[in-house]
Amino acid sequence: MLFSGSDILVKTLIEQGCETVFGYPGGQILNVYDSLYKYQNEINHVLTAHEQGAAHAADGYARTTGKVGVVISTSGPGATNLVTGIATAYLDSIPMVAICGNVPTTQIGTDSFQEIDITGVTLPITKHNYFVGSVEDLADTIREAFKLAKSGRPGPVLIDVPKDVQIAKCEYEPQPPVERDEPFAAKDVRIEEAAEIINAAKQPFIYFGGGVIISNAQEEVLALAEKIDAPIGCSLMGLSAIPTVHPRFLGMQGMHGHYASSMAMHNSDVIISLGVRFNDRVTGNRSKFAKGARIVHIDVDGSELNKTVNSVCGLRGDVKLTLQKLLPLLTESKKEEWTAKVDTFRAEEKTCLDNREGLTPRRAILTLNRHLGENTAVCTDVGQHQMWSAQNLNFRTARRFASSGGLGTMGYGFGAAIGAAYGTGERSVLVTGDGSFGMNLNELATAVRYNVPVVVIIMNNGVLGMVRQWQTLFYDRHYSSSVLERKTDFAAFAKSFGADGEAVTTPEELDAALSRAFAYSGPYIIDCKIDRDEFVLPMLPPGGSMDDIITKLEVEL
Amino acid sequence: MNRYTLAVLVRNQFGVLNRLTSMFRRRQFNISSITASESESGAYSRITFSFDGEENGKVQLINQLYKLPDVCSIKELTPINSLSCELMLIKLKNEPSSRDEIHAAAEAFKAETIDYTRESIVLRIIGNSTKMDDFIALMRDYTILEICRTGTASIEKGSATLRQNLNL
């Protein structure tokens, strides 16, 4: 049967299992929106306030479900507004398909109204992108895009569909959803090499990242830790894979990582890295990074091996499948001395904990923990609040934390929290700062319009806290353009958008406000007043090593 | 710094050259020469890159190139495992004082005169890049008006082909 390109586009999305898509209509994508109208009983479209919000929502949906997130926009400014969202997904390996309209093929290259070369623009921030020149290619291109987005190391794929291709007609036959490429384990000879190195280790450390969540390898990671008696740490992207309370879990690595976790990695003799890259925020000064350690690195993306730090053994393969083959080759052992040493790091960490009274950032997150259900997704924006969340949230379930790790996108959180609520089918939480929240607070309109229950906690300190922290430490306290001095009343703002909210100044007030927020049907904003000179600690100064770690604030404020 | 040559077999689609060169740009490699053309199969194009860099960076680059869905096969070609040649057209000022010397050099380098006017001589020369460089160095004594080089075309010795390497 003959269908128009726009019908084929929507039918192919449905065929691929899309239930909810996010987007914003416009001139060159109107036909697709007409088809979305036609098939509205089979596919749900969420209209955001801005295309960037839609891209982040698709990302939040993908992170919480593991499915491909889909975002749709028009040409020109609609397409360029997706760029930050696509780049965020690219840096964090999130499966996403972005579909843009474009001017008819006859007008391409003539600088028509709202024409932009979006495949050119997104070349370095997509796994691949497509310009669909004829309607006959459309369905298969979308299928290929879904396959690419979720295969190997996932990532965003963009499809540019000119208007005449949306209008043209051709045959369409539904097909079953595409499967991701069959995952594979690393080569046996490499696995044997790795086993030899790990068996000889006296102070092994397991360092994992988002790859463990993607390949669903939590069980294998824990089995590895048990067998070789090793502590576990992770990157920001790995958070939520292993429950915070797990006795072997030391927490996050890096510039603001947990002290014990960073110390254990620094003092280890073998680092077993699983689905994780050695970002500069993790290693600090690379030449001083974990000098005594030999690195065994398992990653599905071969280009990550030896990219920034040299591993003695690089294994290209799926983390789960590779660990399953590796585990039987390992000898079980107890490492009392190493465990004792790690325990001293834990003890030291305890002495550095911030136990001050009042509404401190840590106390705010600990208060939030009491209200979180097992399935509640917590999203963050970027800055101090993000690190406080990463350090103090009680993670219980994988895929229930969404934060822009690689790109560090301020303004990511609200869109992501909306996407996460759709993904989990439950109330989601956004922890943000007054700076980040200011970037995409327009999405409150979306949450109100669709009655999406998002609890927003704004760590409101009136400044760009992370910038201020750096300016305090490294720029002679020149607070250049980091003092916001806005007069925003966030509770009133919430009410004016049709939501509800309140301001709190003590942990008790926050606790009561959270109770109201978690019972409220719809978005609820809590303006959480904190001090402007709160610091994120510990901190590894940029380019520093563990010898330079700052655990206590010694600057006179 | 070393000189490397990579032969890359790609899906023959518009924009594919851009995708590859964009990867060189992102990793800050300066391409010293590039040749691109359809291969023995219309479905694939063959692109040969020559560039200067360090071993580590080259490995990174190959790894990154392999991640592009359009890239089907990559082989590093060295003077030992491959045959390379380049074609150059060079336009020189035709002056009585230098005419004989230019012709003598051209004969020694097996360069062919393909255009001759009162004011200019155009020579065509084929060979490896070093031969081109040497010939240009020699011609610097006279007046070079224009040079056009094709970049290196490289092919592996023996029966091995890039297509045997298809890994995607």
Cα–Cα dist A255/A249, whole Å = 18
Work out the minimum CA distance from A299 to partner chain B, whole angstroms: 13
The predicted pLDDT at position A281 comes to: 77
**Domain-located, residue B161:** no
Distance CA A3, CA A48 (A): 28
Q: Enter the tokens of residue A465.
A: 């806290």
Chain A residue nearest residue B27, CA to CA: A124
Other Cβ atoms closer than 10 A to A193: 17
Say if residue B167's pLDDT is above 60.
no
- Whether residue B23 lies inside any domain: the answer is yes
In-domain check, residue B55: yes
| B contact test, residue of A105, A118, A121, A123 with most B CBs within 10 A | A123
pTM for the structure as a whole: 0.94
* Domain coverage including residue B25: 2-77
Residues of B in contact with A127 (CB under 8 A): 67, 69
Residue in chain A nearest B69 by alpha carbon: A128
Neighbours of A133 (CB within 10 A): 17
Q: Which residues pair with A295 in a beta bridge?
A: A271
DSSP state of B44: E
CA dihedral A544, A548, A552, A554 (to 10 degrees): -100
Mark whether B60 and B118 lie in a shared domain.
no
Q: Is the pLDDT of residue A557 over 70?
A: no
Question: Both B18 and B43 in a single domain?
Answer: yes
List the CATH number of the domain containing B107. 3.30.70.1150
Task: Provide the pLDDT for residue A540.
Answer: 87
Do B73 and B15 belong together in one domain? yes
How much of chain A exceeds pLDDT 90, in percent?
A: 90
Q: Write down the pLDDT at residue A554.
A: 59
Element (H, E) at A195: helix A188-199
Q: What φ, ψ does residue A48 adopt, rounded to 5°?
A: -95, -175
Among candidate residues B77, B96, B116, the one where a domain is terminated:
B77
> Under an 8 A CB cutoff, do B18 and A307 touch?
no
* Contacting residues of A for B68, CB less than 8 Å apart: 128
> Are residues B11 and B67 located together in one domain of the fold?
yes
Same-domain status, B13 and B70: yes
Assign residue B24 the CATH number of its domain: 3.30.70.260
A3 to A103, A104, A174, A283, A439: CA distances (angstroms): 20, 18, 12, 53, 41
- Domain presence at residue B167: no
Q: What pLDDT, on a 0 to 100 scale, did the predictor assign at position B56?
A: 87
Tell me: do B54 and B94 sit in the same domain: no
Average pLDDT over residues A474-483: 96
Task: Tell me, yes or no, whether B88 and B56 share the same domain.
Answer: no
Residue B139 is assigned to a structural domain of this protein: yes
B94, B57: one domain: no
Q: Is B158 among the domain residues? A: no
Residues of chain B neighbouring A124 (CB-CB closer than 8 A)? 22, 26
- Whether A120 sits inside 8 A of B66 (CB atoms) is no
Domain boundary among B77, B106, B137: B77
Chain B positions touching chain A (beta carbons under 8 Å): 15, 18-19, 22, 26, 56, 59-60, 63-64, 66-70
In a domain, B102, yes or no: yes
- C-alpha–C-alpha distance, residues A426 and A373, integer Å: 10
User: Which of B56, B77, B98 delimits the end of a domain?
Assistant: B77
Segment B53-71 mean pLDDT: 92
Q: Is the alpha carbon torsion for B92, B94, B95, B97 positive or negative?
A: positive
**Per-residue pLDDT tens digits for B100-159:** 999 999 999 999 999 999 999 999 999 998 999 999 999 999 999 999 999 989 999 999
- Residue A82 C-beta-side C-alpha neighbours within 13 Å: 38
In angstroms, what CA-CA distances link A58 with A67, A70, A345, A415, A424? 10, 5, 40, 8, 13
One domain for residues B92 and B107: yes
B88 shares a domain with B68:
no
Q: What residues of A are in contact with residue B27 (Cβ under 8 Å)?
A: none
B12 and B72 share one domain: yes
How much is the pLDDT for B111? 97
Taking the CA of residue B20 and the nearest CA in chain A, the distance in Å comes to 10
Domain contains B164: no
The DSSP bridge pattern shows strands A401-402 and A377-380 to be: parallel
Please give the domain boundaries of chain A with CATH numbers for all domains.
Answer: 2-171 (3.40.50.970), 188-351 (3.40.50.1220), 361-536 (3.40.50.970)
Q: What's the residue count for chain B? A: 168
Q: What is the per-residue pLDDT for B168? A: 42
Closest CA to A469 of A531, A404, A403, A529: A531
> Where in the sequence numbering do the catalytic residues of A fall?
51, 113-114, 163, 466
**Span A174-194, mean pLDDT?**
96
Q: What is the number of structural domains in chain B? A: 2
Q: At what angle do helices A30-38 and A5-15 cross, to 10 degrees?
A: 50
B40 and B100: one domain?
no
CB contact under 8 A, B63 and A303: yes
